[in-house]
Amino acid sequence: MLPRASRNIHGIVFFCIFHANSQLQGDASGNDSDSDVSMVSPSPSPLPAEDINAWLSQLGNDDEAGPSSSGKGSVYETSSPKPIASAASTIEHLQTQYKLKEGEVQQLQWELKKHDHERIILTNEITLLASKVEELEKRVEANNELQKQIRYVAKQCTVKKMEECQELRLDLEDVKEMYKIQAST
């Protein structure tokens, strides 16, 4: 979008220069004196807006000399409401607008570089955090597996101890019976 706006400003400047030259040539052909006086007429007519709009349409301007896609108006919409009196002031005005647009382009390019740099930093941070998440997921998985193994071993030990305890109770009962038998004889 920015190159198109720049191209349109170049086109407008070219059109104004062409219009000024045609006025100068028209005045020169109407002036038959042989003196070396300036050929600029004292008050050239202002550039007709319809000619500029028609010429911009021929350039293939998408917004047809209306508001630009950046939300700002065209060069003539941002200009002062009073009509431009001469081709020289028109050119000066357009050059000022062109410099402003170049400044905007540079500012936007700087912001784009800044955002690209921030995007790269954030992408690296996301990559780092994603690898940490994967590592933590592996640890959690290993921890869950260890907990399962601990439960299994604890269960095995409990069952074994319960069996030993049961055997000891049975042995104790047998010993009691044997003692009763010996005590009664």
Closest CA to 12 of 62, 41, 49, 63: 49
Strands (E), the chain: none
What are the Cα distances from residue 90, in Å, to 30, 94, 96? 23, 6, 10
CA distance 165 to 178: 20
Q: What is the pLDDT along the chain (185 residues), one digit of tens a residue?
A: 445 555 556 566 566 666 555 655 555 454 444 444 334 444 444 455 556 656 555 555 444 344 444 444 454 444 444 454 588 888 999 999 999 999 999 999 999 999 999 999 999 999 999 999 999 999 999 999 999 999 999 999 999 999 999 999 999 999 999 998 888 87
Per-residue burial over 140-178, b if 16 or more Cβ lie within 10 Å, else e, is eeeeeeeeeeeeeeeeeeeeeeeeeeeeeeeeeeeeeee
Residue matched to tokens 């010993």 = 175
Asked whether the beta carbons of 84 and 90 are under 8 A apart, the reply is yes
Burial class from Cβ neighbours inside 10 Å (0-12, 13-18, 19+) for residue 39 reads middle
Question: What pLDDT sits at residue 34?
Answer: 43
Residue 38 φ/ψ region, left for φ over 0, alpha for ψ in the -120 to 50 degree band, beta for the rest? beta
